Each structure stands twice: as C-alpha cells, then as structure tokens.
Chains A and B, each alone.
Chain A
Amino acid sequence: MARLGLPALRRSTPVRLAAFLVALFACVSLLSFGVTYLVIRNRLETGMRADLEQTMAGFSAAPSASALAALIANQGAVTDPSQRILTYLAPNGQVFGNVALSRGPEGFLYIDLGPNPTGARRDYLGLAGNFFGGQLIVAANRAPVTALATTFLDVLLASLLPTIVIAIGGGLYLARRSRARVDRIVATLDRLSSGDLSARVVPMPGAHDLAAIGEGVNRLAVRQEAATEALRQVSADIAHDLKTPIQRLAVQLDRLAAADGMPEAGAALAGEAREEASRIVATFQSLLQIAQIEGGSPKARFAPVDLAEVARTFAEIYEPAADDAGQSLTLHLPGGPVTVQGDRSLLGQALANLIENALRHTPPGSRITVTLHGGAQPVLEVADTGPGIPAAERQNVLRRLYRLERSRTTPGSGLGLALVAAIADLHGAALTLDDAAPGLVVRLAFGRADSAP
C-alpha cells in the first residue's frame, strides 16, 4: 500500500471534503460569534452612554460655574481616576477634578491617558458638555468592553480549534482508509490493463460504494479473462486444425516435386503451389497475431527498447534490398538512444512492415527515408516519394485485408498496416498517414518515454 504523501492527501476526496466542511463550519462560527459580540458590545456602550448622560445631568443642576467647580473638585477628590474621570474646565482656564484634560467639542468622545500615538486604545468613553462658559467632561473606563472582546476571543479559540483539529483528524483517518481501498482497486486496474487478466480486487468488508466498485471491476475482469481465454483456445484450435492439413499439403507437394520421373514443369508447379501454401499460413499467422496483440497479453513482456537501435538494425537489413530494386533507403537518427517501454520484436516487425510497404508500393528511383525524432515523445516515421495514398483512403488502409485497387496486383497480404496499427495501439502510440508531397509518410508517435503507455 502506498504511503499517503502530502500531494496524495490533497487529492484525496475525504480529506478535501473534511477540509471544506471545516472551512464552512469555521466561517459560520466566526460570523455568529462576531454578530453576538457586536450586539453585546453595543448594549454595553449604550448603557455606559446612558450612565454618563445621567451623571452629566446630575452636575448640570449646579447653579453657577463656581458651584460646579467646587462640586467637581469635591467629587473628584474621592473618585478613582482609573474608574471614572470628572473634570471641569472653568471659563478662566482653571482645571478642577481628578484628571487634567483639555477642552474640545461637545458630545461623546474617547479618551486615552498617557502616551498613545495611534489613539487606538480608547481607554475611556467620555461626554463633554458646556456649562457656564466652561466645559464639563465626565468619562468612564471602557475596561468591561475590552474584557468582553478578550472573553469572546478565548471562547472562540476554545471551541473552534478543537473542532478543526478533530475534523481534520477524522478526515485524514477516513482518507487513509478509503485511500487504501482505492489503491487496491487502482492497482488491480493497472495489472488488468497491462495484460495480467488474473488480477482481482480483494473483497472488502461492508457494503459501501468502493466495495461495489471493486466487485464491478472483478466481474469485468472475469468476463475479460474468459473472453481472452476463449480467443486463445479458438486460436490454438484453428492453428492446430488448419495447420496440420496445410503441413501435410506442403509435405505432399514437396514429395511431388521430388518424385521420380517428374517433368521440370510439373516440379515448378508443385513448387509454386508450395509457395501458395506458405502464403496462406502467413496471412493466417498475421490474423492470429493481430488478435493476440489486441488481446493485450504482450504488454506483460514490456521492457525498455531503444528505438534508435531498432531503426538502425532494420534500415541496415533492408538497405541492400532497396538498392537492388533501384530504390534508396536512408536513415536519420538523433544523437543518443531513444528509449520507450515496449516489445522489441513487435516494434521491429512494425518498422519492417512499414519499410516493406514503402519498398513494395513505390517505383524504382524512389527515395525511402526512415527518421527518428527523439525527446520526451519520440516519433518514428517512414517516408517515401512514391504515389502516396489518396486522403480519403488513408483510414481504410489500416483495416484488415483492405487493399487499394492498384495494389491488388502487388504481393502482400493486406495485413501489414493493420498489424502496425495493432502494435502502435498496444504501445499507446498514434499511427498517422500523411501526404509527404510527393509520396506517403507514416508516423508512429509515442507517448511519454518514462510512463507505461
């Protein structure tokens, strides 16, 4: 089972679900806490304002400035300035009360004592009113309001943090559990698609959705395996039942050709018939091979293959044959090796078929070029300067046994390109036919070199 790394965690559905729910819950909690805090604080401040107004109203009953000043001086002497401030700024500039403040506009104001460069503390809520040419300022400490904010923050942390931790922990636990199950299913699917049809998902306890998917995968695998086995059996039966008589036919033709008193013409005919028998077998062998490749079983044998080495080998093999036919075969390779995951024998056969097609369907004097482009997505192409294939026919030639009207007289089984298409598909490579202007270019474009196709 794969360890659950951080990137894998981020992709895991339960973790994402848990994170989303935690975020949602946190938002809702913050919103409701915020609103409650604002309402309570507002009430507290309203109460303080009413209290200040009442206090102010009490002092305003004084008959004169000097009486008010005396009253404030007396009251101020017995009032703790850290709780409540009482100040009267007399018209002559004299200050009475427990704290010395300067005059400002009338109405409610915030007051800070001591140095306060930002003015953000707001230690006191005050009320200023003008009486007898002077100004009376009463203020109350806002500590209860500040304490309220601290209390709310404490409650918020104490309730929200554990919720988040528990939710994320639960999400992780669920993620690991379901991840292990998903991993089992994915591993089985990987093995199935790489040709190991005996792979099955281990049954999971319970009737959850992943168990249902696992069972579905297993049902599919059983059917696929049965179908492949049936195909293999049929192929083997056909191979045996058809090839044994063909072998006898070949044997008898060989004997006929070598029989005493056989005229030369007869021996030649027997030889030709023998060749025909071989061609029947070749066609039929190709059909069986295409079926096998499409069944996917060769994937189990995949190993790193150097396409440059394959291209070099086959260009070399066919070069003299091209030369003898008055054609030329040239090879263009990138500097180093070009590695893909695949089956060397099948890739070689695909390239051989493409080169043979080019040799067979182009007139003397034609140039055939095998080119390999390296890089992360290698492309192997075979181009010729022959008559090419009309655009409308290009898809058809990939079909089994399909032959262009003009090719019916040239040798070949009509299976060459179909086999190349099957091999390309097995390797996750795209097979395309294009106009080489003039001629035909067939390209095999491979996927990423380091990943299994």
Chain B
Amino acid sequence: MRILVVEDDRTTADYISEGLRQEGHAVDALAQGREALVRATTEDYDVLVVDRMLPGLDGLSLVKALRAARVATPVLFLTSLGGVDDRIEGLNAGGDDYLVKPFAFGELSARVAALARRPRMQEAVTELVAGDLRMDLLARRVTRSGQEIDLLPREFALLEQLLRRKGRVLTRTMLLESVWDIRFDPQTNVVETHVSRLRAKIDKPFETELIKTVRGAGYRIEG
C-alpha cells in the first residue's frame, strides 16, 4: 500500500513511517499541511495519516480542502485532543477514523489496514466462513465442524466483526467501538473477558484455535 504520513513531530513521524515500512508499505512522510495538500491531490495514495495540529495549514483544513477537491482517499486523524467534540469535528471534516495520542503502533497499523481495505460497496453477504466455522447471518446460526454452537447476541456480534475482517487485526478499542459503540477506554479488561467467553465456545472444544491474540495489538481470526 502507498501511505502518506503528515506529522510535524519528527520522532512520531519516523516511528510511524518505519513501522509501516517494516510491514511492507510504501510510506511518504511530510511535516507541512500545504505540501501534503499538493502531494495528496497529485499522487495516488491508499491511506492518509494526518496529524490534526500542523504548522501552516492544519490537519482539519487540509482534509476539508482535499474533500472539496474530490480526493476520496481514506484519512486517519492523529490527535492530542481526545474530547468527543474533537472527534466529531474530525469526522465531519471528512476524516474516516480518529486515533488519540499516545497510541501503540499496533493500534495505528490495525486501523490503517481497516481503512485501506474498507469495501467500497457493502456486498450482500449471508454467510461468513473461517476454516470449518460457518456463520449464517440470516438464521443467526453458528456451526463448527457441522456442530451447532449456541452464542449470546453480543458473542455473535463479536464473532461477526472478527469474521468480517478475517485475517486482519482488530484492536480492543476497535471492538469496543464496533460491537458496543463505546468510545472511551474502560479501566477493566472487558474485551478480554468477552473474547475468552467466545473462545470457550468456539475454540476450546475443537482441535485448532481460530481466534489468535496479536501481542500489543488485539485479535485476529484466521482463515
């Protein structure tokens, strides 16, 4: 993937760029909003990572200008401001996701991946499959190796999120947002406890483990 990182703090910019390059992405890094506006309108990127506070043209105005110029490249905002107002402001300006500093690299990487591969159009899927696990979205039934598994509604929703992004990492905060619509960090390990409940039903009784823990990042379901 081609990724443009717009961040004025050198340490943070280097860290993000290096990490993304190690994952095999082609990364350009810029420190100025104006330069970024020129680059993003003339070249083709898969994802833009934009800091909200930039010298000159700030991140919010940059993305507004891009959207006005009909550049639809997905944007992940990085910000020091964590208020609900700030998040709404960022999303209204045309941002697709919002990450509050300080963040772990795993979180950034998972969100960049989720943005880039976001399906342009929602296909009408009725069944999700991972290995010998099948989820029937219409009948709301889950089977593994032909054996029916009884899931609570939220366990079903959690598994559905993991299956929809099969092979990709979903962080704890991404799961909190997509399954429970919660946008703050609980002090208790609530996601872990729900994942472990889900594992007890879909992994424990079987030979292979489908839900993998990705250290420092989150969870991934294998195909």
Interface of A toward B, CB cutoff 8 Å: 235-236, 239-240, 242-244, 246-252, 254-255, 274, 277-278, 281-282, 285, 288-289, 292, 297-298, 301, 313, 316-318, 320-321, 323-324, 343, 345-346, 348-349, 352, 356, 359-360, 411-412
Contact = CB atoms under 8 A, between A and B. Distances in A.
A320 B184 CA distance: 19
Nearest to B81: A239
A11 B218 CA distance: 62
Nearest to A246: B102
A243 B180 CA distance: 27
B105 A254 contact: yes
Looking at chain A's contact residues, the main secondary structure is helix
Nearest to B100: A285
Interface of B is mostly: loop
Most chain B CB atoms below 10 A, which of A250, A251, A297, A313:
A251
B83 A251 contact: no
Given A244-B9, A297-B85, A318-B190, 17 more contacts: A244-B80, A246-B101, A250-B103, A251-B11, A251-B12, A278-B102, A281-B101, A282-B187, A285-B82, A285-B100, A317-B182, A317-B186, A320-B193, A320-B197, A352-B184, A359-B188, A360-B188
Contacts of B197: 320
Interface of B: 9, 11-12, 15, 53, 80-85, 88, 100-105, 154, 180-190, 193-194, 196-197
A87 to B, nearest CB: 103
A317 B172 CA distance: 13
6 contacts: A289-B82, A301-B85, A318-B188, A345-B182, A356-B186, A360-B188
Contacts of A239: 80-82
A277 B102 contact: yes
Nearest to B152: A316
Which residue of A249, A255, A316, A317 has the most chain B CB atoms within 10 A of its CB atom?
A317
A88 to B, nearest CB: 109
Contact of B182 (A240, A281, A320, A348): A348
B139 to A, nearest CB: 23
A321 B188 contact: yes
A298 B180 contact: no
Nearest to A352: B186
A345 B183 contact: yes
A250 B154 CA distance: 33
Nearest to B184: A349
Given A247-B9, A251-B12, A289 B102 contact: no
Contacts of A321: 188-190, 193
Contacts of A352: 182, 184, 186
B60 to A, nearest CB: 12
B15 A251 contact: yes
Contacts of A277: 102
Given A240-B80, A298-B85, A345-B184, A250 B102 contact: yes
B98 to A, nearest CB: 14
A317 B180 contact: yes
